[in-house]
Structure 1
């Protein structure tokens, strides 16, 4: 359960709005039959790309205090959650962990090199220490020369963002949990950039598939694959390498039209067992409860105030710019901010994008897995014979 006591320190209007949002989220979790935590029977595992958390490089942030409460409320429903787009400064993540409470911890990578196209982001895992044990093994996936990504004849490269994996155990269930944020590149499926995206998916699935044959751990591979839809080249790359993808009827982007995010697995001796295996609605649409379209008027004064402050900063940057590049950057910022402030219609359009930098433009995915194999083990012991016998 998140740590709510600091809400006392918020101005009463902000506190009441934040509590109302939390209450709507809690009611929504109940309404969609999101599983409750069961100490010894099941594990709630998921993945979430938390958009640009949290360095304001795109000039829509930073996140407000209430957003940290909403994100913490969602995260608290998971026993372990893979996260993507964690930025270089870890202070916002530490702030989020304070809201989550002492029983939660995280493991993240260092930042990716900007020269590889990884935007200096981190991958990682947030987990409930009361439920999940980190087994002390962690590593980033570096491809051998013969497996380098080659979307064109003269190319041979590593991942834009190096996949990250850790070994965990919950109850009887041991698993290697790996997460990715696959290179996006271009929307055109005929472009080399799209081919690079598919090749990255193939490479990580193939590599982990080979590792699975030499390991006694269950392989769970999740993250932002930038997959367009089931049956596309990227999706097929997972299944052709032995991974089973968890199906959902609708996508995981903000309007649920794209299937960017995926949860997939390779099971050891049928140990990956989904509770409610026929469910196809394991995506949580938080915009039904917080930062809703109808909430624009509530946040309009906040947006106006922030845009005014950003405009003043951009004008100051322009005044002290010493190079053509810096002047153009400041001029473009001023132009974009003034366009957003022009009318209620432009402010409302800005709100539609702004809210994704408060929450995310991706929705969290989840599965509930069985972790108690004691009955099966007892059955095994019934016919077990030791060497001494």
Structure 2
């Protein structure tokens, strides 16, 4: 993290921000620490990220957003707007180890001029080169959904031994009811398309002892409850939620809606989800209206204003063990055990060749001796 920008603030602004960051960092320490063998994956819808509501985000929010993201290795971000200034400011605060990749804004009806992005720590995650948008084939189009309004964005990454092809989405919201027909259909068509194309993104025939490949669908699905048809549209197409996530509260501010999800095609292949959660940053930051008196517009309601500073979504995260060194070494041990006694096939071939040369040499010597006696 690069905190040098704090030096250029007024004493009042710096003092307020330091108070906020100190509290937030205390809360973030409750999350798993980054280690040599783990991978921390998160998804976060950052409300109108790049928007101008209430004159845009104050520096406090940008530093807090960066502080939250820095705790993870890779974060899928939804609701990024045309203006990328806020995104780039956050990446600059994160520091030179961090990078990002994003798609273009959606111009479709219901796309809201939004784009999707991935932010990742290059010291722990490698971009593999895969990047693309999922477009429905014409045969999949219906009167209700001709195309996904905010085109799903898929990118490939590797952390440790594990490969992750991540497809992030921001599904249509529509009316404020749990099973909007268009929302159900967008989820179902996206999940089905990915499932049908799974072999294009992962090798399903390979053993998963080491270097496992995983296809993941994550982001804001606007799912109200796990019993809803929207949730079933995801799971019936063979996408599975890691068990630790199924025990978590909702990811909206009141924690009673299950908008955000992280789902794996069929299963987590060769890795195990050891931990998961939903991080409520409002327990530690942007929770005291008095602190922002004179900063927040006088006409704004604090609980609404703060969602345009941080977000109206909380952060959903998962932790995986991606160190497969032991599995790889065991594979080598099995290969060695299956080789012929006396060494590998190559060694055995060399030994056979040497024996043949010796026999040929002995026969030649014997023939010469017989010829000498006759003469």
After superposition, give the CA deviation of every residue in 1:92-143 in whole Å (9 maximum; x if it has no partner): 1111111000110000000001x42111011010000111110111000001
Partner residue in 2 for 1:220: 216
Give the one of 182, 185, 190 matched to 1:204. Answer: 190
Equivalent residues, number: 327
Alpha-carbon distance in structure 1 between the residues aligned to 2:176 and 2:303: 21
Alpha-carbon distance in structure 2 between the residues aligned to 1:46 and 1:270: 18
Deviates more, 1:171-180 or 1:232-241: 232-241
- Whether the 8 Å contact between 2:145 and 2:185 is mirrored in structure 1 is no
Is 2:128 the counterpart of 1:135? yes
The within-5 A match list for 1:329-340 is 340=299
- Whether the 8 Å contact between 1:243 and 1:264 is mirrored in structure 2 is yes
Partner residue in 2 for 1:263: 262
Q: How big is the shift at 1:222?
A: 0.6
Q: Which runs of 5+ in 2 are unaligned?
A: 204-212, 346-375
- Whether the 8 Å contact between 1:284 and 1:365 is mirrored in structure 2 is yes
The within-5 A match list for 1:157-196 is 157-189=146-178, 194-196=180-182
Report the TM-score, using the length of structure 1 for normalisation: 0.80
- Whether the 8 Å contact between 1:116 and 1:159 is mirrored in structure 2 is no
Structure 1 residues 267 and 130: CA distance shift in structure 2, 3 A: farther
Q: Give the 3-state SS of the residue equivalent to 2:157 in structure 1.
A: strand
- Whether the 8 Å contact between 2:144 and 2:182 is mirrored in structure 1 is no
- Structure number with bigger Rg: 2
Q: Give the 3-state SS of the residue equivalent to 1:283 in structure 2.
A: strand
Q: CA RMSD in A?
A: 1.8
Q: How big is the shift at 1:267?
A: 5.7
Q: How big is the shift at 1:386?
A: 6.9
Report the TM-score, using the length of structure 2 for normalisation: 0.83
Alpha-carbon distance in structure 1 between the residues aligned to 2:234 and 2:331: 33
Partner residue in 2 for 1:48: 44
- Whether the 8 Å contact between 2:75 and 2:118 is mirrored in structure 1 is yes
Partner residue in 2 for 1:361: 312
Is 2:76 the counterpart of 1:82? yes
